[in-house]
Chains A and B, each alone.
Chain A
Amino acid sequence: MHGLKNAANPLARRWFLQQCGVGLGAVALRQMLHASDPLAPKQPHHKPTAKNVIFLFMGGGPSHLEIFDHKPELARHEGTLPPENLLEGYRAAFIDPSSTLLGPKFKFSRHGESGAELSELVPHTASIADDIAIVKSMVTDAFNHAPAQVMMSTGTQQFGRPSMGAWTLYGLGSESRDLPGFVVFSSGQKGPSGGNTNWGSGFLPSMYQGVQFRTSGDPVLYLSNPAGVDRQLQRDSLDSIRRLNSIRLGEVGDPEIETRINSFEMAYRMQQSTPELMDIAQEPQHVLDMYGAEPGKPSFANNCILARRLVERGVRFVELFHESWDQHGDLISGLQKNCKDTDQASAALVKDLKQRGLLDGTLVLWGGEFGRTPMVQGGTDDGRDHHPNAFTIWLAGGGIKPGITIGKSDDLGFNVIEDRVHVHDLHATLLHVLGFDHTKLTYRFQGRDFRLTDVAGEVATKLLA
């Protein structure tokens, strides 16, 4: 019943060969081993509505109260203490939880036919209000950055578990012959708090981990030939390597040599295709303008265009980290800057995918690791602490119902009161649109079948189209 279990595991491979390999010659066997390439495209459990994912990870914890979750009551109660019963058992990262409430700092209005309520900070997101589904009822378990990011990425606060992208690649394989199936970009003020664990493969085979790309210098580590090695020499060298490896293969018979030959050839193809892929100057000016992208100047906007270009080339999972949403202070100016950096490009990405007919098969996910406290941090009424009890994300495409808002937080934006969507539920939903029953996409490790959703998770059916 665990259809995909251990596809890449030697034990499984042994079974595969023992059960199916009887009587086959070496050539056929080698073909079979090749066919059991763990990155080969695979069928999920049911018909998927999305085959690609673009995750816009807003690291640091964007304030739901300033951007998405309009709370007039919070404004009315500004300067007063939150009700005591709200704070029972509540732990904050920096502040004494018994700090005064801080009203929202930006104006809200309704947008689109759906009438989604968004603040003035995100006018471009407002323009795609009818294309996205807003979830105002997100909940997570952790209130420090690293554990909460790792929770969002892997479904647990423990380091060492596979990330969403790794699970996706494990489940669906890759459709790109020249590019990694899971690509990660970073922008913003800082790097991800959870580090490489955010796109790690955990206990899954390491071929499923995310590969970091960047928009200046070598897009992929060691992609360029060293000084003095021109394209012809690289090709000549690879031909020699291939021929010598083939001689060895003939002598020792180890099919792993065949895999090595293929790895080198794919490396060469990556060298040829990646520079073209990364060259966003090829995009027409109106597309660049739509995103607010400037070729040659690293930015979240450039990364958004690249995300689209990667999806066009069959890359399964693209993750864009933008870490700068930790507004303990400078809430107003910090949010203005962050939204200026991300709002237009995020909206453009959705529009662009839609125009190209790619949105149907691509899930776009925008969100951070937690929200921010309704209580103030700092003496200048211009900061909020980390808040795990309620926050907002949005999704678009890939079988998500457009133009809806689900979930509610209470009048202060403190706790979720309707349609609670825990991070586990988000993961279950993500896997669902990709065609998986999240309880059945498992991998055996240390004697246990692990899953992205641990032992929890319910598909948020209200989000499905």
Chain B
Amino acid sequence: MVRVVWLLVYGVAVSFAAEGVDFSQDIEPIFRAKCYACHGEGQQLGQLRLDSRSVAMEKGPSGPRIVRHEPEASSIYQRVAGLGEGNRMPMGGQLAVDEIASIRAWIEQGAIWPEGSGIDAGLSRHWAFVPPERPELLPRPSDWGSNPIDSIVLAKLEAEGLTPSPRAAKDTLLRRLSLDLTGLPPTVEETDRFLADTGQGAYGRLVERLLASPHYGERWGRIWLDAARYADSDGFEKDKPRQVWFYRDWVVNALNEDMPYDRFVVEQIAGDLLPGATQDGRVATGFLRNSMINAEGGANPEQFRMEAMFDRMDAIGKAVLGLTVQCAQCHDHKYDPITQRDYYRLFAFINSSHEASQPVYTPAEDQLRAEIFAGIHEIEQDLRRRAPDWRARMGAWERDEASAQPEWTVLDTHIKLGSGEKYLVLPDKSLLAEGFAPTRSVVNPEGRLESGRINAFRLEVLTDPRLPLSGPGRSLLGTAALTEFEVEAAPSSDPEAWKKVALSRATADLNPPITWLDPFLFPDQDGKRRVLGDVGFAIDGFEMSAWNIDAGPGRRNTPHNAVFQLKEPLVADEPLHLKFHLSMKHGGWNPDDNQSLNLGRYRLSYTSEENAAADPLPAHVRKIVSSVPPERRTPEQEAAVFGYWRTTVAEWAEANRRIEELWKRYPEGSSQLVMHERAEPRVTSMLQRGDFLRPTEQVEAGVPGFLHDMPDLADIPGRVAFAHWLVDRSSPTTARSIVNRIWQGHFGTGIVETAEDLGRQSADPSHPKLLDWLAVELMENGWSLKHIHRLIAASETYQQSSHVSPELLESDPNNRLLARGSRFRVDGELVRDIALAASGLLTPEIGGEPVYPPAPEFLFLPPISYGPKRWYVDDGAQRYRRGIYAFRYRSVPFPVLSTFDTPTGDFSCVRRDRSNTPLQALVTLNETVFMEAARELGRRTLGEGGASDRQRVDYAFRRVLSRAPRQAERAELLSLLDGQRKRIESGDLNAPELAFGDRPVGTADGGEPDTTELAAWTAVSRVLLNLDETITRE
């Protein structure tokens, strides 16, 4: 019944609309008003979006959406008209009769949807996808500001009928600049000096001094480290500690040196592949390696390598490009023109690396290494000089002693699943352990002997870039310990009849002296002490002793081999099953802290020869001896052979001993996660919904069409080409993205508020010309970041007072128009740094290993932490290092910082939240170091702040806030001081406890402290350190 009426109405409507329906005038407004809410930008129910011509014209899940000239066959029409089976649209209401008629008529007339309507047309024209050009700036007759920042800002202010605020007070500017550029407040002396400098250019000199401070790199490095999702642990369940602080220091140093931003990016993407790559260049690739690693027992290493790859793409997108590329991991980007194919083509550039780590050394350690190598060289030269016939003797040794090696047959072995450790079988038949590393385990490689006999087995332990420091073991140092080596055999006719194979003798090329297993790194809950030593320990049947596969610093990450002779030969009258028991019981007790000594990569072989023994030659020497004839060796190869041969020469014992002494001085160094390019590139495929088990189509590396072209970079590795592409002068987003974040650091909000996304969904830039001008300035001034800081600091815009009138607050509450200076709470690290600096506790040392400030122990133990974690609270100076150096566990972040919104490093973050919570108040009021800072500030105030209370209040106030107190402020503090003095004198308040807590503190002059005064001034200092202004950049 209803249907008939409708059809009648259509007849009327059609004739009414038949004259010619215009999409923009007649149809788009209907879609916008009635449909976009569910089928537009925000959501796309039924995968339909009616603001996109291309999507709307596609075939939908319930048939063709729009069939030109055939409304009844078009599902869109069916739905709005209530035909067919689908729910009538829009949900919860119907279109008006004439609206339905218009849609019908529009489809009948061919559904003409002009290009340039809807989002498709807008995509490529989005401002951020057009490379920035230097905007034309109108010369303005204005006495406000000297640089183009000001003319752009002023133009907008005038358009809004606003005027800029006056310049901030000199002391405010000093504190503002100091916090912005170095993250530390000025000292009283610095304040005095700046206030006294009334000469021309005082402000400019201040800017230069701060930009030259090594603390500049800490402040802005920390901001980059957010984008680089830096953390000192792996994340996920185990969240094991990792060593990546060389990367952190690389960032700080690079910024301090004002490394051009383009090079800064290139090194982080491909520093290992650049010509003449140094340690620094390799360390820089830690940027890509800061991804989390899931080492829980059930994890598939390839699945989580893929997760890490997605994370790298996300980090490159946010940190470098300013685009949310990760949306395209599962499907074409909904808003930006990045297709899923684009995503995987970019992915392919960085997909051919090993997840590697390498030893790294500080400059001092490097110098020591150079000295050791020179010392060894000198001793060896001396040996050569004293034995002029050394070449002939070495040749004879090679022929007579070094050549005879048994014939080994490599066994095909495999390992069934077990403890959660995973094993890859490599092409050379070696096994590579991956994933979870149990701390105590027995691994059972199984193999088969078809025929013949076995007189000895050989175990080779091998290096691989995927192992810690290349292995061959899985400890943090790449070392291993083999507790027991056992073999069982069973005839294939009776496969369960395992019989143990008796071993008679073990030999190895590495037989370290007996040592205790480090009970600190590898604690044993039973309190038993385990030993390490020569290979004999691997067949002594005793679980407390193990073969120590560790040649010591400088030589430990090399292959070794051990040979196990059989008591009786094993004869295969019929095929034999072989089962090895590689017992590794020398890990720590806690499987969550990476303290295993498991073998990393190894291979098993056998020989039928009798009396086989381990090859004493190091693998690299054996390779030269067996494959390069002496006359064709390079000097380095010859030196390598000599380096081993000399150890066999009896009369050189003393020289050999001296060389061993030198090795003992070799520095342990540190390790760093790096990229290490594979010999064979990986094939990259698109993945259905990002699932690593569902690859679809193979793709080649390439860049998205809507961005700039790949420059012609023939003959350089793909990752290097990609790195150069990211920072190409024609990139539309790279320079804009970083100058926007510098602006954000100075003003609290970027010119584009969504710093992570300059794409179509981004917030509109408040000052588009300003963004472009800064971007071009960056690129045309050698990508110097300090140049941008100088420009911003020099502007009147930056120097405005942040005081705000009610009227201005009302018209521009978030200061997007910049009619005033910005005022905001500093970043979490700086909250603590300010207390340390103002109190005088700060240890201003730059760089080095992470530190462990005081934190409640229970945080690092179950049931708060998944497993027990290391947190050795530092005493002394390390306790008072800046926040950037505090050890960062992802799963249990250092609470003093995380309470103030510091990110965990789980993913790239280019814009921090800035909350204001009671938990923050509890930190600054009550936390241990904040209280220590209050006590120290009280002590210094008493010692250095002058003679009167008034002078002292002013002194403490200036230490914290870099300005003199107003009368009312001084009065408040003096009254607090008096009040607490009275309470102490009346016995109401425990002065010694307040003044000293549980840590004894001396006075500045070494005299007997006046406890009452110390306590009262501690109370005053604590209030000062808890003011809003203290942790605010005004």
Contact = CB atoms under 8 A, between A and B. Distances in A.
Give chain A's interface secondary structure class. mixed
A357 interface: no
Contact of A248 (B42, B334, B993, B1027): B1027
A270 B239 CA distance: 32
Interface stretch (A144-152, A390-398, A419-427): A144-152
Contacts of A257: 1028
Contacts of A256: 823-825, 916, 1028
A221 B898 CA distance: 12
A187 interface: yes
A145 B298 CA distance: 8
A11 interface: yes
B926 A223 contact: yes
Contacts of A42: none
B84 interface: no
Contact of A447 (B420, B759, B980, B998): B759
A188 to B, nearest CB: 5
B762 A447 contact: yes
Interface in A1-28: 1-2, 10-11, 13-14, 17, 21-22, 24-26
A190 B863 contact: yes
B305 interface: no
A94 B980 contact: no
Contacts, number: 288
A241 interface: yes
A197 to B, nearest CB: 7
Interface in A166-210: 180, 186-197, 205-207
A83 interface: no
Contact of B804 (A94, A254, A271): A254
Nearest to A39: B917
B417 A94 contact: yes
Contact of B915 (A1, A188, A207, A218): A207
A380 B394 CA distance: 59
A176 to B, nearest CB: 11
A228 B923 contact: no
Nearest to A179: B918
B979 A193 contact: no
Contacts of B1034: 252
A203 B792 CA distance: 29
B654 to A, nearest CB: 55
Interface residues of A, number: 98
A227 B997 contact: yes
Interface in B597-656: none
Contacts of A159: 235, 292, 906-907
B335 interface: yes
B1022 A93 contact: no
Nearest to B857: A217
Contacts of B420: 93-94
A447 B806 contact: no
Residue picked from B334, B899, B915, most chain A C-beta under 10 Å: B915
Interface in B452-495: none
B926 A224 contact: yes
Interface stretch (B9-17, B131-139, B968-976): B968-976
A13 B892 CA distance: 32
B596 interface: no
A105 to B, nearest CB: 22
Contact of A94 (B298, B824, B1019): B298
A151 to B, nearest CB: 13
Interface stretch (B698-706, B715-723, B808-816): B808-816
A422 B712 CA distance: 50
Interface in A62-108: 91-96
Contacts of A187: 863
A257 B42 CA distance: 35
B753 interface: yes
Contacts of A147: 236, 294
B918 A270 contact: yes
Contact of B918 (A143, A214, A264): A264
Residue picked from A22, A95, A146, A187, most chain B C-beta under 10 Å: A146
A226 B42 CA distance: 50
B800 interface: no
A211 interface: yes
Interface string A425-454: 000000000000001001000111100000
A221 B856 contact: yes
Interface in A129-175: 143-147, 159-160
B37 A144 contact: no
A447 B862 contact: no
B777 interface: no
Interface in B292-330: 292, 294, 296-300, 324, 327
A251 interface: yes
Contacts of B901: 206
B401 interface: no
Interface in B21-48: 37, 42-43
A447 B596 CA distance: 44
B988 interface: yes
Interface string A238-267: 001101110110011111110111011011
Interface in B391-439: 416-418, 420
Contacts of B761: 446-448
Give me the 8 closest cross-chain CB pairs, A-B, nearest first: A93-B298, A447-B761, A195-B891, A228-B994, A26-B806, A228-B993, A267-B921, A193-B237
23 contacts: A29-B810, A33-B813, A91-B300, A146-B294, A187-B863, A193-B236, A193-B866, A195-B237, A205-B913, A217-B856, A221-B899, A221-B922, A227-B997, A228-B997, A232-B983, A232-B988, A244-B1023, A245-B1028, A253-B809, A257-B1028, A267-B922, A271-B922, A447-B757
